[in-house]
Amino acid sequence: MAAEGAQVAVLDLDGESAAAVADEVGGVSFAVDVRDPDAVRAAVDDAAARLGGLDTIFNNAGTGGMARLHEYEPDEFRRVVDVNLHGVWHGIRAAVPHMLAGGGGSIVNTASISGIRPSPGEGPYSAAKAAIVALTQSAALEYGARRIRVNAVAPGAVRSAMTTPLLGLGQWEQIWTDRTPLGRVGDPEDIADVVVFLSSDLARYITGQVLVVDGGMILHGAGIDGVLDYVMQMMEGPAEAPPRG
Ligand SMILES: NC(=O)c1ccc[n+]([C@@H]2O[C@H](COP(=O)([O-])OP(=O)(O)OC[C@H]3O[C@@H](n4cnc5c(N)ncnc54)[C@H](O)[C@@H]3O)[C@@H](O)[C@H]2O)c1
Indicate which CATH number applies to the domain containing 196.
3.40.50.720
CB of 180 closer than 6 angstroms to any ligand 1 atom: no
Give the model confidence (pLDDT) of 131-169 as tens digits: 999 999 999 999 999 999 999 999 999 999 999 988 988
Task: Measure the CA–CA gap between 239 and 153, rounded to whole angstroms.
Answer: 33
CA of residue 43 to ligand 1 center, whole Å? 19
Q: Per the domain annotation, does 242 fall within a domain?
A: no
Whether 239 shows a pLDDT value over 70: the answer reads no
Give the range among 128-132, 198-202, 233-237 with minimum mean pLDDT: 233-237
Mean pLDDT across the chain, nearest whole number?
Answer: 94
**Among 72, 125, 143, 230, the one annotated catalytic:** 125
Task: Measure the CA–CA gap between 101 and 148, rounded to whole angstroms.
Answer: 11
Q: What is the mean pLDDT of residues 27-39?
A: 98
Instruction: State whether 168 and 152 are in the same domain.
Output: yes
Instruction: State whether 5 and 81 are in the same domain.
Output: no
Give the model confidence (pLDDT) of 49-91 as tens digits: 999 999 999 999 999 999 999 999 999 999 999 999 999 999 9
pLDDT at residue 78, as a whole number = 98
Strand order through the sheet with 105-110 = 56-59, 105-110, 148-155, 210-213
Whether 9 shows a pLDDT value over 90: the answer reads yes
Instruction: State whether 123 and 185 are in the same domain.
Output: yes
Nearest Cα residue to 176 out of 126, 226, 235:
226
CA atoms within 13 A on the CB side of 168: 6
Domain that holds residue 7: 1-31
Instruction: State whether 66 and 24 are in the same domain.
Output: no
pLDDT at residue 227, as a whole number = 82
29, 89, 132, 160, best to mutate for ligand 1 pocket (most atoms within 8 Å of CB): 160
Q: Are 105 and 95 in contact (CB under 8 A)?
A: yes
Cβ within 8 Å of residue 109, ≥6 positions away: 58, 59, 60, 88, 91, 92, 132, 135, 136, 150, 151, 152, 153
Whether 244 shows a pLDDT value over 80: the answer reads no
Q: Per the domain annotation, does 167 fall within a domain?
A: yes
Query: What Å distances lie between residue 157 and 163, 170, 180, CA to CA?
Result: 8, 16, 9
pTM score? 0.94
Give the model confidence (pLDDT) of 200-222 as tens digits: 999 999 999 999 999 999 998 77
CB of 157 closer than 6 angstroms to any ligand 1 atom: yes
CB of 155 closer than 6 angstroms to any ligand 1 atom: yes
Instruction: State whether 86 and 139 are in the same domain.
Output: yes
Largest separation between any pair of C-alpha atoms in the chain: 59
Our count of domains for the chain comes to 2
pLDDT at residue 237, as a whole number = 64
Q: Per the domain annotation, does 241 fall within a domain?
A: no
Q: Per the domain annotation, does 244 fall within a domain?
A: no
Whether 31 shows a pLDDT value over 80: the answer reads yes
- 125 catalytic, yes or no? yes
Instruction: State whether 157 and 39 are in the same domain.
Output: yes
**Kind and range of the H or E run holding 74:** helix 74-81
Instruction: State whether 17 and 43 are in the same domain.
Output: no
Name which residue sits closest to atom 41 of ligand 1, judged by CA.
62
Whether 47 shows a pLDDT value over 90: the answer reads yes
CB of 160 closer than 6 angstroms to any ligand 1 atom: yes
Percent of the chain with pLDDT over 90: 85
Q: What is the mean pLDDT of residues 10-15?
A: 98
Instruction: State whether 3 and 53 are in the same domain.
Output: no
Q: Are 165 and 175 in contact (CB under 8 A)?
A: no
CB atoms within 10 A of CB 24: 11
Name which residue sits closest to atom 1 of ligand 1, judged by CA.
158
Q: Higher-confidence residue: 109 or 225? A: 109
Instruction: State whether 27 and 103 are in the same domain.
Output: no
Cβ within 8 Å of residue 103, ≥6 positions away: 147
Instruction: State whether 118 and 14 are in the same domain.
Output: no
CB of 163 closer than 6 angstroms to any ligand 1 atom: yes
Phi then psi for 79, rounded to 5 degrees? Answer: -60, -45
pLDDT at residue 223, as a whole number = 72
